[in-house]
Chains A and B, each alone.
Chain A
């Protein structure tokens, strides 16, 4: 993968889909040409993309980007309707797009600013440990990285 002059090796490749971590070297860029290259010099037509410092997104349990979050309850079990988390307990959330410039990371559940006990990334994958507010009701999660927020429609199953 080419991001202007920066190369990145895909995490996996299938004939119609691949996954790649955007190079950290793009920090500060406003736009970039994204190119897929195969067999050393057989390249796709570039796709011009806008670059933001962060574009947080939470992984979901069915990989659709919406619905139940891919999350662990405080006891390490997978959060689900059959295994909801207790209010006041800690959940582990997974996401990507939190940026590379030490941006402030916040989590809101039902609009309530949560206590974030840990946030960090490795190879593009973010882990965020947050405490569920006592007054949460629906369990709607929003992750904010710097000035950008994750899309609505991701929820935690709550008791």
Chain B
């Protein structure tokens, strides 16, 4: 009988993980199957012939961390390790969500909930450490992105993570051309170039930048 060790990852609040299946072979006698911890359960008490043993884990009441339990199939113990993560902090938005190419160092406000003074900000999944992340309150973090991050068109992916928590869903900070700007007295009739007024159905010419 060859038995693997098993591992699971579970985020608090998520549905229970799918049952694990262990294939038992080379069985020569009837063996008992039982769990040694209450958060692991097996779906049959004995095994008389080669076959599958299903192990159901319910880590919903476990605290964050790595928890280990054993299921005994006859004389052999199968270790099941479950990494329990707290629910990810909720990341709602970053402000500004768009930054123009060439912008100087910019303070980014991270908005959401469930932040702590140990919440980590990640840029492109890499923990941010170039500048301090300031904890304002459980809904707001601030950090400064240096201008080198605004040198070209790019979508930065920002996530947050608490110690022992899952990673939040990402939000995007877009670096791109500056916002359009309408020139002073830049809305005129396409025919006469007269300004100040428009009329329904009229063709306009609009002058400005970054259209």
**Which chain A residues have a beta carbon within 8 Å of chain B's beta carbons?**
1, 11, 13-27, 29, 32, 34, 36-39, 41-45, 47, 49-55, 57-60, 64-65, 94-101, 121, 124-125, 148, 150-151
Residues of chain B in range 24-73 having any CB-CB distance to chain A below 8 Å: none
The answer on a CB contact under 8 Å between B200 and A150 is no
Cα distance A43–B96 in the bound complex, in angstroms = 13
B200: which of A14, A37, A99 is its contact (CB, 8 Å)? A99
Looking at B74-82, B124-132, B140-148, B176-184, the stretch in contact with chain A turns out to be B176-184
The answer on a CB contact under 8 Å between B203 and A25 is no
The answer on a CB contact under 8 Å between A19 and B206 is yes
The answer on a CB contact under 8 Å between B187 and A18 is no
The answer on a CB contact under 8 Å between A54 and B207 is no
Looking at B101-109, B163-171, B191-199, the stretch in contact with chain A turns out to be B191-199
- Point out the residues of chain A lying under 8 angstroms from B190, CB to CB: 19, 57, 59, 96
Chain B residue with Cβ nearest A44: B180
The answer on a CB contact under 8 Å between A100 and B201 is yes
B209 within 8 A of A: yes
The answer on a CB contact under 8 Å between B211 and A38 is yes
The answer on a CB contact under 8 Å between B180 and A55 is no
**Which chain B residues have a beta carbon within 8 Å of chain A's beta carbons?**
98, 176-177, 179-182, 186-187, 189-194, 196-211
- Point out the residues of chain B lying under 8 angstroms from A60, CB to CB: 191
The answer on a CB contact under 8 Å between A37 and B180 is yes
- Point out the residues of chain A lying under 8 angstroms from B210, CB to CB: 15, 38
- Point out the residues of chain B lying under 8 angstroms from A148, CB to CB: 199
Cα distance A47–B184 in the bound complex, in angstroms = 9
- Point out the residues of chain A lying under 8 angstroms from B205, CB to CB: 17-19
User: Shortest beta-carbon distance, A144 to chain B, in Å?
Assistant: 13
- Point out the residues of chain B lying under 8 angstroms from A47, CB to CB: 182, 186-187
Interface centre among B177, B189, B192, B211 (most CB of A within 10 A): B192
A16: which of B199, B201, B204, B211 is its contact (CB, 8 Å)? B211
Cα distance A18–B181 in the bound complex, in angstroms = 12
Cα distance A41–B161 in the bound complex, in angstroms = 28
